[in-house]
Structure 1
Amino acid sequence: MTVSSILADKGPDVVTVSPEETLLDVTKLLDKHKIGAVLATDSNGKLAGIISERDVVRAVARGGPEALGEAVGTHMTKKVVTCKKEDRVNSVMMQMTEGKFRHVPVIDGGKIAGIISIGDVVRRRIADIETEWRAMQDYIAAG
């Protein structure tokens, strides 16, 4: 199974900010969309970084409430691990587990095609296991 199957279910929508926006702006977006991360893009729409709720918490823990007025670019992850639509879900899941991150932007033809979370990956994996289990039950019942 590939990343494209997850995007087919969830859609390509991605919430973005510019690196110049503030952490407070990010918190409002995270709350409004009920998500855990947003992508930072440059003026051409290219991926510049990712900022997660964890990044915001760390910034506030280190800098106090004043950190919420600081720019996203100061706190975002700039070396973002990405994937492609054709990547295998199991491979992306391993990267997420080993790297201890929960969101991966999907890049297609150099453009942002979506974002998947560990929750998306786990949901897909559980659905696949249930499908395999039912197929096995049908096979055994027919035999």
Structure 2
Amino acid sequence: MTVRAILESKGRYIHTVEADARLAVAVKTLAERRIGAVLVMNGARLEGILSERDVVRVLAERGAAMLDAPVGTVMTRDVMTCRQDDTVGQIMERMTAGKFRHLPVMEQDRVVGLISIGDIVKSRLTEYEHEQQALHDYIKSA
């Protein structure tokens, strides 16, 4: 299965914030949307990603006053990305090695989606269910 197939199933909508937005605004978006990360964009250009882990880390290190800081001071700037043609296996390896749970999907320097570890798990479970049903049907017809 490819990233493209996952995006076609889940949709391509992404939640974004600007680098100068206050961290409190981004945290509210994460909570209200029940998501684990937002992309930090400058127009159509990806500047970074802000994840729950980034928020927890900065609050633990610097305290609640950081909620008034701009997202750009907290976000992860060196963002690993993937492409639509990448396989689930490839991105699972990348996420495991980098110890992160979200990958922006890029095509020709443009963000076209966001894949989470939850999306991958869901796609793998769906694959396994289809395989199990096919085996069941095969055994039944034999």
For the aligned pair, the TM-score class normalised by the smaller chain equals: over 0.9
Identity of aligned residues (%): 45
Which ranges of 4 or more aligned residues in structure 1 deviate by more than 4 Å? none
Describe the SS at the equivalent of 1:47: strand
Q: In the alignment, which residue of structure 1 is the partner of 2:86?
A: 87
Counterpart in the other structure of 1:113: 112
Equivalent runs, 1:24-39 vs 2, <5 Å:
24-39=24-39
Pairing 1:141–2:140 present: yes
Following superposition, the deviation at residue 27 of structure 1 comes to 0.5
Extract unaligned runs of 5+ from structure 2. none
Show the counterpart of 1:96: 95
**Distance in 1 between the 2:126 and 2:54 partners?**
31
Amino acid at match of 1:52: S
Q: Distance in 1 between matches of 2:10 and 2:130?
A: 19
What residue in structure 2 maps to residue 66 of structure 1?
A: 65
TM-score by length of 1: 0.95
- Find the aligned partners of 1:141 and 1:95 in 2 and give their Cα distance: 39
User: 1:141: how far off?
Assistant: 2.5
Q: Which runs of 5+ in 1 are unaligned?
A: none
Displacement of 1:140 in angstroms is 2.5
Across the two proteins, how many residue pairs are aligned to each other?
142
- Under a length normalisation based on structure 2, what TM-score does the superposition of the two structures give? 0.95
Distance (Å, rounded) in 2 between the aligned partners of 1:109 and 1:132: 34
Q: Secondary structure at the match of 1:13?
A: coil
Partners of 1:36 and 1:111 lie apart in 2 by 21
**C-alpha distance in 1, partners of 2:70/2:52?**
14
Q: Which amino acid aligns with 1:31?
A: A
Q: Give the Å deviation of 1:4.
A: 0.8
Structure 2 Cα separation of the partners of residues 52 and 15 of structure 1: 12
